[in-house]
Structure formats: C-alpha cells, structure tokens
Structure 1
Amino acid sequence: MRVSRDGRSWRIGADADVGWIAGQTTAGFSITTAIPPIFAAYATTYQADDVTAADYEQALVEDLSTHTPDQTWWLAYLDTGAHDVVFPHAPRVSLYWNWPYVLVEAGPEQALTWRTGHLRHGCGSLPDLFFPADRSWLVSALWDDTWTCVGGPEPLIDTLHGDPRTNGRRVRPDEDALPPGLTRE
C-alpha cells in the first residue's frame, strides 16, 4: 500500500518489515524490552531540561544520519489514540505487546517534520520507533517511557554518548534502561 503526503507517494510497511523486531524483545526493565539483543552497543537518550525538544530531536537525527549511508528509513508511529500517527487510515503492524504502529518508508527529514504534538515531549515530531533500511540501528521509545532506547554499532553509541544535546548514556543489554534522575510513570 502507498499513501500520499507532501506531493509524494510513500510505502506503508507490513509485518514482514518489522519481523526482525517482533518477538525478539523481552518484558522487563532492561533495554532489550525495546531493542532486540542483536546490536554491538546500546544507549538511552532523553531531552535534558536545558535542551529544547527541537534541538534534542535534531541532534539525535543528525547523529544517526552521520552513521548511516544514504538510504530510506522506516518510521513507526504508535497508535495510542492520543496522538498523531501521521497516516490515520493506513494499516497497522503489531510490535511488542501487540501494540499497533503505522509503519512508513521515508527518511530523516520526514522523521523530524511529519508529526506534531508528540505525547512524550508535549511537542516534537520523532516517530516512536525508527530504523534504516539496512537495520544497522534501531531507535525505540516505548509509549510510557520519557527516554529513548537505541541499539546500533559502537561508533554510533559513542557519538550519542559524547553529544550533550542527546544526553546519551551507554547501557548494557541486561542493565536497567532507566536513565539516572528519571522515574517510571
């Protein structure tokens, strides 16, 4: 299926496009609740008090883009009924605990511009889950978390860890993903 937006046609994803994620995560507090245990390194990121949502999101996408060859990205928007899924009439894919996501093949520009009024930040545009076509990294923010989980290659995680705008923190696969100073809701 394809949908139109911004004068272009966009491919809507299917369960096969996220099959590498589905059923590969584990319930609990570790980062593998959001990210399958298949990556070389892991991190959590979140918007610090002294960084705007737009600056945080821009920095995260810039850091990801720096470590990604030119290719499409899959953007997934969780359908909670409370915020924008960008393509409300598109079919859903099922991830995690059968949560419905709208999955669309686009890119970093669309990740930053398509959504408005994100539930976790009060404003912002990032999808709830996204990854490049080559699956070299995965970014996932579970609906009730105020932080974002990332799995990917060591150099990407090093970049996130060193970027004060993304507030990145390395996490081991078996470690609690909750960043210091934040609480679970």
Structure 2
Amino acid sequence: MQVSKDGRDWRIGAAADVGWIAGHTTAGVSITTAIPPVFDAYATTYQADDVTAAAYEQALVEDLITHTPDQPWWLAYLDTGAHDVVFPRAPRVSLYWDWPYVLVEAGPEQALTWRTGGHMRHGRGALPDLFFPADRSWLVSALWDDAWACIGGPAPVIHTLERDPVANARQIRPDEDALPPGLTRE
C-alpha cells in the first residue's frame, strides 16, 4: 500500500518489514525490551533539559546519517490515540505487546519533519517512535512509557552518539537496566 504526502507516494510497511524486531525482544528493564539482541553495541539517549527538541533530534539524526549509506529509512509511529501518527488512515503493524504502529518507508528528512502533533516524550519533537535504515544496521526505539530512546547498532555508531553532547547518549550492555541516570520510570 502507498499513501501520498508532500506531493509523492510513500510505501506503508507490513509485518514482514518489522519481523526481525517482532517477537525478538524480551520483557523487562534492559535495552533488549526495545531492541533485539542482534547488534554489536547499545545505548540510551534522551533530550537534556537545556537542549531544544529540534537541536537534539537534528544531532541524533545527523550522527546516524554519518554512519549510514544512502538508503530509505523505515519510520514507525505508535498509535496511542493521542499522538500524531502522520498517516492516520494507514494500516498498522504490531510490535512489542501488540502495540499498533504506522510504518512508512521514507528517510531522515521525513523523520525530522513529518510529525507535527508531538509525541509521548515531553509532547514535543518530530521523531518517529521507532526508526531504522533499510539495511537494518541500527535501530532506534522509544517505548510507549519511556522518556528516552534505546539504540542498537555497530560500535562506531554508538561511539559517535556518545561523543556528541547534544545527542546525550550513554552506552550500555544488553543485560543492563536501560534507565538513564537522573530519569525515573513512570
């Protein structure tokens, strides 16, 4: 299926496009609750209080772009009933605990601009709730009730994010609690 936006058609994803994630995460507090245990390195990231949503999201996406060959990205928006899913009439795919996501094949520019109604993390920002490149070399996922995002990918991607003070990332082990220092669970 395709949907139109910005004067062009975009492919809507199906269960097969996220099959490598669905059923491959584990319930709990570790990063593997959001990210399948298939990557070399893992980190958490969140917007610091002294950084704008736009600056944080731009830094995160730019860091990911530097390690990603030119290719489409899959953008997934969690349908909570209260947050912008960009394509409200598009079919959903189920992830995690049968949560419904709108999955669209687009790119980094759309990841930064499509969502206008905010998301769960502080109600501001444009980033999708889950996104990854077509080659699945990394994955960013923010679960419904988390104020941070989890990332899995090659070690150079994680190290780049760690070195970027605006991206505010911290490397963690797959079995470690994903909660960043200073934040609390709701």
Range into which the TM-score falls when normalised by the shorter chain: over 0.9
How big is each residue's C-alpha offset from its partner over 1:110-141, in whole Å with a ceiling of 9 and x where there is no partner?
Answer: 00000022221221100000000000000000
Shift of 1:85: 0.3
2:176 is the alignment partner of 1:175: yes
**Superposition pairs of residues 96-135 of structure 1, within 5 angstroms:** 96-116=96-116, 117-135=118-136
Separation in 1, partners of 2:122, 2:107 = 21
Instruction: Give the 3-state SS of the residue equivalent to 1:112 in structure 2.
Output: helix
Q: Does the residue aligned with 1:16 lie in a helix, a strand or coil? A: helix
Note if contact 2:120-2:145 (Cα within 8 Å) is conserved in structure 1: no
Which letter does structure 2 place at the counterpart of 1:48?
A
- Does residue 150 of the first structure (1) align with residue 138 of the second (2)? no
Distance 1:63 1:147 in 2: 17
CA distance in 2 between counterparts of 1:171 and 1:50 reads 23
The CA distance in 2 between the partners of 1:69 and 1:120, in whole Å, is 28
Equivalent-residue separation in structure 2 for 1:179 and 1:48 (angstroms) = 11
**2:39 is aligned with 1:27:** no
Identity of aligned residues (%): 84
Indicate the SS of the match to 2:136: coil
User: Distance in 1 between the 2:13 and 2:67 partners?
Assistant: 23
Q: Deviations over 1:133-178 (max 9, x none)?
A: 0000000000100000000000000001111001100010000000
Count of residues paired in the alignment = 185
Structure 1 runs (4+) deviating above 3 angstroms are none
Query: Which residue of the partner structure matches residue 55 of structure 1?
Result: 55
Task: Name the amino acid aligned to 2:107.
Answer: G
Query: Which amino acid letter does the alignment assign opposite residue 165 of structure 2?
Result: P
Query: Secondary structure, in 3 states, of the residue corresponding to 2:178?
Result: coil
Q: Note if contact 1:53-1:121 (Cα within 8 Å) is conserved in structure 2.
A: no
CA distance in 2, matches of 1:47, 1:84: 19
Equivalent position amino acid for 2:31 in 1: I
What CA RMSD, in Å, does the superposition of the two structures yield over aligned residues?
0.5
Q: Which runs of 5+ in 1 are unaligned?
A: none
TM-score, with structure 1 as normaliser: 0.99
